[in-house]
Chains A and B, each alone.
Chain A
Amino acid sequence: MANSLTDEQLLELLRDEKTKREAFSQIVVKYQKQLYWQIRKMLISHEDTDDVLQNTLIKAWTGIDNFRGDAKLSTWLYRIAVNETLTFLNNQRIKNMTSMLDTEDILLSKLEADTYFDGNEAEKKLQKAIVMLPDKQRLVFNMKYFEEKTYEDMEEILGTSVGALKASYHHAVKKIEQFLSEED
């Protein structure tokens, strides 16, 4: 099966039990990178990202029969990934409730220890600033700034109005710039 199948063709193949598995494998190949980087920017650590991405794809497989095609396939997968990521972060918060560390501290320590960090000092500072943002604002900032998604696409994925997303992004940029100027 060629790699260049469109979402419509893949959905068609998913409806047939004989081609369903192969079609899903193609979906994994097609979207794994986008989903990985979206999750990775939120969780920093590769190991955590790998866990969440695998859960995301398994959930997609178990729920694929309920996917009616109202949204784009990519949007549907992004939504699952966002939910899994936020659930992971919330669980981490609950787990660390007894310790004095909060999720931001944990993410910062993961950033410092990350052997797969591939940036310069300025990029590390930017990541530190992003980690300080609330989860939803971080999501919005990453989608807009790094992935250059349109507000309309983000609205579909996050279920938040374009106006609210613009405001959220604006606040995030302000906080990050402030953090970076204090660091200078």
Chain B
Amino acid sequence: MEEQFEHLKKIGNRTPFKEPENYFEQLPSIIDAKVTPKKVSFFEKTKPLLYFAAMFVGFYVVIHFAVRTLNNNPEQTTLTAQQEKTSDDVLYNYVLSELDENTIVDYLLAEK
């Protein structure tokens, strides 16, 4: 074993590294800061809830305006009026087709 240490004996067992200046003076306070429970303010505590509420309000506003915009669309309005007009015409034509001349005369006489 003695022979085996030939080179190691010459080199010695000094640790050939150094640490940055003041490292060991600063480390305890770094660790202390990491293990100290942080004081959380009321705002910090409720922050996730506030974010969620803001998101919800945001969604509501966006959807509300989108629906309103769609409802106020002039094309959409014209189309609805047209559709209403068309359905009135269909009803009028249907009623006329069901009546003959005699029925109308009878109705007018009965009115008198």
- Residues on A close to B: CB < 8 A? 21, 24-25, 28-29, 32-33, 36-37, 40-41, 44, 46, 50, 53-54, 57-58, 61, 114, 116-120, 122-127, 145-146, 148, 170, 173-174, 176-177, 180-181, 184
Contacts and interface: CB of A to CB of B under 8 A. Distances in A.
A177 B6 contact: yes
Contacts of B5: 173, 177
B35 A116 contact: no
A124 B16 contact: yes
B13 A145 contact: yes
Interface in B1-60: 1, 4-8, 10-11, 13-20, 23-24, 27-28, 30-32, 34-36
Given A36-B19, A41-B15, A145 B28 contact: no
Contact of B4 (A44, A116, A174, A184): A174
A21 B36 contact: yes
For the residues of B in contact with A, the DSSP-based class is helix
* Shortest 4 CB-CB contacts between residues of A and residues of B: A119-B16, A180-B7, A123-B16, A118-B18
A118 B19 CA distance: 10
B20 A28 contact: no
Nearest to B29: A25
B13 A119 contact: no
A181 B10 CA distance: 12
A127 B16 CA distance: 9
Given A54-B34, A177-B7, A177-B8, A116 B28 contact: no
